[in-house]
Chains A and B, each alone.
Chain A
Amino acid sequence: MVRKIRYREALREALREEMQRDPRVFVIGEDVGRYGGAYAVTQGLLQEFGPKRIIDAPMSEAIIVGAALGAAVVGGRPVAEIMYIDFATLAMDQIVNQAAKLHCMFGGQLKAPLVIRTQQGTGRGAGPQHSQSLEAWFAHVPGLKVVMPATPYDAKGLLKSAIRDDNPVMFIEHKGLYALEGEVPEEEYTIPLGVADIKRPGNNVTLIAYSNMVHTALAAAQELSQIGISAEVIDLRTLAPLDMDTVITSVTKTRRAVVVHEASVFGGFGAEIAASLQERLFDILAAPVRRLGGLHVPLPAHSQLEKQVVPSVAQIVQVVKEMVSTEVAIRAASA
């Protein structure tokens, strides 16, 4: 039997293995050393690798990313931790104008092999400045890769690939997933960036999700199966590069698609998927592609209200039922 470990432990293993494999890899961030990381991902690594490779930086997001970037340009393989994605806003110049642009802008002469590990999302009632889901901002910037693992297995394999990648990677974890257990083999493996994963096969509808919403989608698929609807669940795993082929193949088969994410629907990444699907599969879609996401509202620091802002299993089930019955209705009308 494959051993089970938590999401945070899988991430820690990836960091440890990559640091052992490549002496150029180092970690820099706030409270990553002595504290072990705000979400305990880097716990114990300071003791293991020392303060030159696990660097406790001052509270200065702009220069944490800037310093990581500069080190990357001249030969380092830094993993910068930004405690909450909300604080990445303080480093936006370094991420968007600098890291993302260097390679192309300078005629391919410079590289920025940099990983920015951060976490986002709801689940702790952490409020409007600590719970946002900002992945669409980063996916919108050419030159940045965006990774959003949903399981311990994916978290480990994707982080290892992100560290080995020669480009800046936004590695966005979810604060609600750190304690999640899952199977992770002892042997070494990596997962390529840009390959989606079918987390559950099905025939009647495709649920497209990433990060924690994969689990919500899986629970919805389970419920739908009890009323005879077979849902396929696709975990995008990386938004950039985006594996649209896997999505197209699935929706070609199921003819119905729902995109689910925690971020606000308005201007969210689901719009990209929905638009691509209708451009390429308009003729075969049995129903309009649906998007489910958070309400367009600053997140309340109130756990009960927070839950009402983000998509639920019940909402997904409801939307799928509507899609199926719409189709039935259309068929009936044209008969």
Chain B
Amino acid sequence: MEDRETLTNLYHTMLLIRRTEEKILELLLQGKLASSMCHVSIGQEAVATGVCSAMQPHDYLTSTHRGHGHIIARGGDLRRIIAELLGRETGYCKGRGGSMHLVDVSLGHLGSNGIVGGHIGIATGAALWSSLQNDGRVTVAFFGEGAMTEGIFHEAANMAALWRLPIVFVCENNQYAMSLPWTHATAEHSFARKGEAYGMPGIEVDGQDVLAVRQVALQAIERARCGEGPTLIGAQTYRFLGHSRGDPSPYRDKEEETRQRARDPIRIYQEYLFREGVLTQTDVETIEAKVAEVIADAVRFAEESPSATLDSVLEDVFA
């Protein structure tokens, strides 16, 4: 069994993602977000948390339009995240990127992307450079199952396996790409067979089980670091809410939603921690309070920060 600190941190991270996104939705409804684009990952917290917990500080990752969880799990600064969403100069992209374009180079977070699959190319290139430099870093590319039907994914997977690049492809299969169910997106649903086709292991894991995700990620990252090449991880999860605001998901079966929402990764993990005597109800309440405080501080910081300006955008068109 993992040590108590690791186990507690995983819980803390998942809760921080959940509560932050709940706050983001609240800010969105209050009309405080600077952009109309915002996708939350509620229900998928175990994937970001488990995978990031398996990474080393000098590793890289690339992220998606649904990327709040990835940057938070990587240890991103909540103040700068909220400031970014509120369009403030103190945000991660000086307030001009918004929810879809978070980044923190100091953490090896090479950016989240509005073009589905676009960042998979960048991730592959980062791994190529690590391989050429032999710098010991591993790159994690997070993407949704929808991205697996884009050409860039196939080209990247082929190249990474061919050249044994130190990269881990993490597919967060939340079962839908907007309205398109995974069953209608591809004829081959086995990640093992998908991986095999490129010449890399494909491993499926319960994405609602943070410890299982962590185990699989530890192995894949180790394999990549040893020069054995990429792994395709298929983490089975579920998008609890709509694709974005204003999507009540009428295309989803209500019974399916109820069944899937019952598998809340945070609740599942909390029950495990109680069962194993790692945390008590009081511990959980303490963590809840700490999380609430951090979020309140971040919102306060963001609201007090100056708004982004066009002059600052114009300065950055070229490096």
Contact = CB atoms under 8 A, between A and B. Distances in A.
Interface in A281-321: 295-298, 300-305, 308-309
Contacts, number: 117
B36 A302 contact: no
Interface string B104-139: 000000000111101000000000000000000000
B35 A59 contact: no
B87 A58 contact: no
A126 interface: yes
A305 B309 CA distance: 7
A125 B114 contact: no
B134 to A, nearest CB: 33
B254 interface: no
- The majority secondary structure among interface residues of chain A is loop
B35 A125 contact: yes
Contacts of B307: 304
Interface residues of A, number: 35
Given A62-B151, A127-B97, A304 B313 contact: no
Contact of B179 (A34, A90, A125): A34
Contact of A59 (B101, B147, B314): B147
A30 interface: yes
A9 interface: no
A59 B34 contact: no
Contacts of B310: 295, 300, 305, 308-309
A112 B187 CA distance: 29
A160 to B, nearest CB: 27
Contacts of A33: 179
A197 interface: no
A87 B317 CA distance: 21
Given A301-B97, A304-B307, A58 B186 contact: yes
Given A295-B314, A300-B96, A305-B96, A30 B34 contact: no
Nearest to B249: A35
A262 interface: no
A303 B185 contact: no
B37 A300 contact: no
Given A126-B37, A130-B37, A302 B95 contact: yes
B150 interface: yes
B308 interface: yes
A127 B101 contact: yes
A35 B37 contact: no
Interface of A: 30-31, 33-35, 38, 56, 58-63, 86-87, 90, 124-130, 295-298, 300-305, 308-309
27 contacts: A31-B178, A35-B178, A58-B184, A58-B186, A59-B150, A60-B149, A60-B150, A62-B151, A86-B114, A90-B115, A90-B151, A124-B37, A127-B35, A127-B101, A128-B97, A129-B118, A130-B114, A297-B314, A298-B317, A300-B95, A301-B35, A301-B100, A301-B101, A302-B34, A305-B96, A305-B308, A309-B310
Interface of B: 34-37, 87, 95-101, 113-116, 118, 146-147, 149-152, 177-180, 184-186, 251, 307-310, 313-314, 317
Q: Closest 4 CB pairs between A and B?
A: A301-B98, A129-B114, A35-B179, A300-B96
